[in-house]
Chain A
Amino acid sequence: MSDFEYANAPESKAIAKISQSYDLFIGGKFIKPKKGKSFNTINPATEEVLAKIAYADELDIDIAVSHAKLAYTKVWSKLPAKERGKYLYRIARILQERAREFAVVETLDNGKPIRESRDTDIPLAAAHFFYHAGWADKLEYAGLGNKPKSLGVVGQIIPWNFPLLMLAWKIAPALATGNTVVLKPAETTPLTALLFAEVCQQAGLPDGVVNIVTGDGITGAALVNHPDINKIAFTGSTEVGKSIARSISATKKSATLELGGKAANIVFEDAAVDEAVEGIVNGIFFNQGHVCCAGSRLLLQENIMDEVLEKLKKRMSLIRVGDPMDKNTDLGAINSLEQLRRIKDLASTGDSEGANRWSPECKLPTKGYWFAPTIFTGVSQSHRIAREEIFGPVLSVLTFRTPAEAIEKANNTMYGLSAGIWSDKGSKILWAAKQLKAGVIWSNTFNKFDPASPFGGYKESGWGREGGRHGLAGYLTSDAKVSK
Chain B
Amino acid sequence: MSRIDVNKTYKLFIGGAFPRSESGRVYEVKGANKKFIANPAMASRKDLRESVVAAKSAFHGWANATAFNRGQVLYRIAEIMQGRSEQFVEEICALEGVSNKAAKSQVEETIDTWVWYSGWCDKLSAISGSLNQVSGPFYNFTTPEPLGVVAVFAENKPSLLGAVRTLAPVISSGNTAILIASEKYPLPAITLSEVLATSDLPSGVVNVLTGKISELASWIASHMEIDGVDVAGLSKSEEEELKLHGADNLKRVFRFTNRNHPERILSFMEQKTVWHPIGI
Contact = CB atoms under 8 A, between A and B. Distances in A.
Nearest to A443: B276
B140 A450 contact: yes
A468 B255 contact: no
A363 interface: no
Nearest to B64: A434
Contacts of B240: 249-250, 484
Interface in B245-280: 246-250, 252, 254-257, 259, 261, 263-264, 267, 270-277
Nearest to B243: A249
A458 interface: yes
Contacts, number: 123
Main secondary structure on B side of the interface with A: mixed
Interface of A: 127, 143, 238, 241-243, 245-246, 249-250, 257, 259, 414, 416, 429, 433-434, 438-445, 448, 450, 452-456, 458-460, 462-463, 465, 468-470, 478-482, 484
Given A127-B135, A246-B247, A249-B240, A454 B256 contact: no
B236 interface: yes
A433 B274 contact: yes
B212 to A, nearest CB: 22
B33 interface: no
B271 A465 contact: yes
A484 B239 contact: yes
B7 interface: no
B134 A450 contact: yes
Contact of B250 (A143, A242, A434, A453): A242
Given A443-B276, A482-B257, A242 B247 contact: yes
A239 to B, nearest CB: 11
Interface in B92-137: 127-128, 130, 132-136
Interface of B: 127-128, 130, 132-136, 138, 140, 142, 145, 227, 236, 239-240, 243-244, 246-250, 252, 254-257, 259, 261, 263-264, 267, 270-277
A468 B130 CA distance: 9
A481 B142 contact: no
A440 B246 CA distance: 24
Contact of A481 (B140, B236, B250, B255): B255
A479 B263 CA distance: 8
B263 A480 contact: yes
A309 B47 CA distance: 48
Contacts of A470: 128, 130, 142, 271
Given A259-B250, A481-B256, 5 more contacts: A433-B274, A448-B134, A465-B271, A480-B267, A482-B256
A205 B195 CA distance: 60
A132 to B, nearest CB: 14
B138 to A, nearest CB: 7
A453 B134 contact: yes
B272 A429 contact: no
Contacts of B142: 453-454, 468, 470
